[in-house]
Structure 1
């Protein structure tokens, strides 16, 4: 460990940035005991950062506890499955099923609604790197109108399962039961409590958001690039002015006096 007594505050900041987290327990006391207030502050901030990271590691370990129990039983190909887009007025409902390597432990994985857009996109890339296999299911508005959104969601899930190259030994699903011969476990609030389901939620969300960006280019009046088809005041105002597009769900907008 380098002596910091003869280093300037700027040099110390640059030095800290280059250190590995394993060095922090020895580095933090040195910084906090320095006679300079600015250096003490660096130590305090590093201590807070380390504590926050340790807390996040523990949260991910807790999220993985369901999967870990099955891994210990030799059940390795666990498919996490989740949907996005059940509530919007426009666009498809999208599902993802993902089988992750047992050692996947990406920090900040969570229910996709709780993850900032930039972080979702980064995590999506990382999770796909960790995937043994994954697939997307997509059901568009006409099928949603015919089946209702619950049955359309289940169809999207079974469609995604059919696309997998590897058959899961077990499915973890967010509070649903679907028609499949694969053993399944429904978990209430699964996207916030199961690592595999949360991972599926993130991948599905990124996929659907990118799709809505494409729809925005075709129908720019509705603000799909930021409302993602949900019924914001701006979206409803555009609907009443321009009428529905081919991607709007008739069964959802009929209460607005539109068909």
Structure 2
């Protein structure tokens, strides 16, 4: 009879139900029972992941004008913060891209997983581009228009023109056929991939900004209006990277004039 340790290890390495598990299922040792339960839970989770991935693939494929067409997804990161750019990305993936299993809305992933997926997306995407829209442009245009123009610029930076655009809750000023998808990063693989590239690029930018302005804590809050950030603003005032049309920065500037 195999030891609990041997059975547990074998179950950890297994990727599907196999004949030898029939006998294991009769083993009443607590450690074996626990290992078998964990094995089945892992398979169920993996199957759910595959189904969710397939749903995203099918969603994107449903917008293909023809089989050889390019469908591009676009999304943004950083519309809400008080400081830093809004960052957008555009991504064209191979049709039925199976290598990106697990890619999801960037907000649903840990930082470690986002960074890992960002590398994989760049490896497997046919084309991708990232655009940074500065705080100055956000103040000049307003955050909605600044984001929309940034999305279009990321599209225009692609090496090929897409045949169809899937944009996360945004309509772009372009003649290219498009669809505005509410919660698109949860429905479309291309949009989800774009959300990850935008988020990781913006996080890297804010971490670099933190080195230049360590007193604000940008690496911790990425420019969002946390207690730490607001206290730093009250003490040191806004930088050139703060959005002057956003409150409470707008009022702070008015009071100083």
Aligned pair partner of 1:212 in 203, 206, 213: 206
The answer on whether the counterparts of 1:28 and 1:44 sit within 8 Å (CA) in structure 2 is no
Matched, 1:157 2:184: no
Which stretches of structure 1, 4 residues or longer, exceed 6 Å deviation after superposition?
none
Map of 2:79 onto structure 1 = 86
The answer on whether the counterparts of 2:105 and 2:185 sit within 8 Å (CA) in structure 1 is yes
The answer on whether the counterparts of 2:57 and 2:96 sit within 8 Å (CA) in structure 1 is no
Mean Cα deviation higher: 155-164 or 79-88: 155-164
Matched, 1:67 2:60: yes
Instruction: Give aligned pairs, total.
Output: 252
Structure 1, unaligned runs of 5 or more: 1-5
Q: CA RMSD in A?
A: 1.7
- d(CA) in 1 for partners of 2:77 and 2:154? 13
Structure 2, unaligned runs of 5 or more: none
Shift of 1:71: 4.4
SS at match of 1:16: helix
Aligned positions of 1:217-236 closer than 5 A: 217-236=211-230
- d(CA) in 1 for partners of 2:180 and 2:77? 16
- d(CA) in 2 for partners of 1:127 and 1:195? 11
Shift of 1:254: 4.6
The answer on whether the counterparts of 1:89 and 1:248 sit within 8 Å (CA) in structure 2 is yes
SS at match of 1:251: coil
Shift of 1:255: 5.7
Aligned pair partner of 1:13 in 5, 8, 16: 8
Aligned pair partner of 1:238 in 228, 232, 235: 232
Aligned positions of 1:33-112 closer than 5 A: 33-71=26-64, 73-105=66-98, 106-112=100-106
The answer on whether the counterparts of 1:172 and 1:185 sit within 8 Å (CA) in structure 2 is yes
SS at match of 2:59: helix
Shift of 1:203: 0.9
TM-superposition CA deviations, 1:154-184 (whole Å, max 9, x none): 1111211221112111110011111122211
- d(CA) in 2 for partners of 1:71 and 1:92? 32
TM-score w.r.t. the length of structure 2 is 0.92
Shift of 1:194: 1.4
TM-score w.r.t. the length of structure 1 is 0.91
Change (3 A) 1:249 1:256: closer
